[in-house]
Amino acid sequence: MIEDKNPQKTSISQLGEFALIDHLTKNFSINHESTIKGIGDDAAILDFKDKKIVISTDLLIEGVHFDLAYMPLKHLGYKAVVVNLSDICAMNAKPTQITVSIAVSNRFPLEALDDLFAGINHAAKEYNVDVIGGDTTSSQKGLIISITAIGEVDLDEVVYRSTAQDTDLLVVTGDIGAAYMGLQVLEREKQVFLVNPNSQPDLDAYSYLIERQLKPEARKDVRLLLHALEVKPTSMIDISDGLSSEIMHLCKQSQVGCNLYEDKLPLDPQFINVCEEFDLDSTTVAINGGEDYELLFTISINDFEKIKGNPNFTIIGHMTQESEGIHLVTRANTKIQLKSRGWDAIAED
């Protein structure tokens, strides 16, 4: 499906480790004052003065977290950075630096790694983070990418998962479920392609969904939007595994319950159409699909007026006492207990 636009193939084993690192990292630039020393020595040096430092790491394994059959390497590089920056944003912090470590088999030519690093560099520029180091090694099989993201924050601005109150409102940014349906579309096209490699898929009707899957964005704007509204979330998490699972995390760690309202879920029209096409229930997909990288947070009921009607935010529910449990309230006004994967009807109401 992905055309080979790089017929030239340079073997990385010929290049040697140091030449490879030099080649891959030559386009990175340093823009933050807090970066005293980036790539080039045994370690990087950072100086955050009076700010606190936030750190998060992710590991991405070929065949487990990504499939190169439909994930172009440039997109993979971009996404690998973005998913890490999303974790920094979920602490209400500002991403500032990343490190990039890769293990790669010699099945990958240099041109493939160039694509991967073009995506990484694009994300680094887009999100204004300095690439300050990493590691490059060989692997027996496949590609492994580990990115560590670093951010800065004032201690009184940090937002944890564990501090929601039982009277708070539950808010989500953007819309949800689209990345999962994008993956379904890509999986389907991959199967079609395996049967008929000459097929030219027309993916216009799925463009938003595919973009959400292949080129997700971290909500770095939310910290600033909320700051301007003078709202500090009482708890926050990013949506990587799925809304339902993230709500469970907030509730468990904050020792509260939650009512989530089916009719409030922010769904894109294309998402609704394609769920119908795949004969999937859009609510089930929206709450269980992952990789949206939107932010889910709670606010004090006193901040309701500041958030109400804002196109960036949707109030989708409210927290309750822990003993009330964690439920989806359906359009038919029945309560269904939320599970981290899938959900079951229970005999209430």
CB atoms within 10 A of CB 63: 10
Per rule CB under 5 A, is residue 187 in the interface with Mg ion? no
Least distance (Å) from ligand ADP to the CB of residue 117? 8
Question: Which tokens in the block code for residue 274?
Answer: 């394609």
Q: Please state, in angstroms and rounded to a whole number, the distance separating the CA atoms of residues 132 and 130.
A: 6
Cα angle, residue 71 at apex, residues 131 and 176 outer, rounded to 5°: 85
Least distance (Å) from ligand ADP to the CB of residue 22? 8
Each residue of 260-274: b (16+ CB within 10 Å) or e?
A: bbbeebbbbebbeeb
Where is 257: in which H helix or E strand?
A: strand 256-261
End-to-end CA distance of the chain: 50
Type of residue found at 221: D
Q: Please state, in angstroms and rounded to a whole number, the distance separating the CA atoms of residues 80 and 82.
A: 6
The single residue among 12, 25, 177, 297 that binds ligand ADP, judged by CB under 6 A, is: 25
Closer residue to Mg ion, CB minimum distance, 37 or 339: 37
Closer residue to ligand ADP, CB minimum distance, 103 or 296: 103
Least distance (Å) from Mg ion to the CB of residue 135? 4
The single residue among 136, 284, 334, 340 that binds ligand ADP, judged by CB under 6 A, is: 136
Which one of ligand ADP, Mg ion, none interacts with residue 102, CB within 5 to 8 A by kind? Answer: ligand ADP
Least distance (Å) from ligand ADP to the CB of residue 8? 22
Q: Please state, in angstroms and rounded to a whole number, the distance separating the CA atoms of residues 124 and 95.
A: 10
CA nearest neighbour of 218 among 51, 64, 88, 35: 88
Type of residue found at 340: S
Phi, psi (5° rounding) for residue 81? -70, -50
The single residue among 22, 33, 135, 276 that binds Mg ion, judged by CB under 5 A, is: 135
Which one of ligand ADP, Mg ion, none interacts with residue 133, CB within 5 to 8 A by kind? Answer: ligand ADP
Using CB under 6 A as the criterion, what x/- string covers residues 82-121 for binding ligand ADP? ------------------xxx-------------------
Per rule CB under 6 A, is residue 317 in the interface with ligand ADP? no
Closer residue to ligand ADP, CB minimum distance, 21 or 267: 21
Closer residue to ligand ADP, CB minimum distance, 65 or 306: 65
Where does this chain bind ligand ADP (CB under 6 A)?
A: 21, 24-25, 39-42, 100-102, 131, 133-136
